[in-house]
Amino acid sequence: MAGDFDGDGTADLAGLTANGGIYYSTDFVRWQNIPGMLVRLVAGDFDGDGQADLAGLAGNGGVYYSTSFTNWVYATGVLANLAGSSE
Q: How many CB atoms lie under 10 A from the CB of residue 65?
A: 16
pLDDT by residue for the chain (87 residues), tens only, comes to 999 988 889 999 999 999 999 999 999 899 999 888 999 999 999 889 888 999 999 988 889 998 887 788 888 765 555 555 555
For the whole model, what pTM was predicted?
0.75
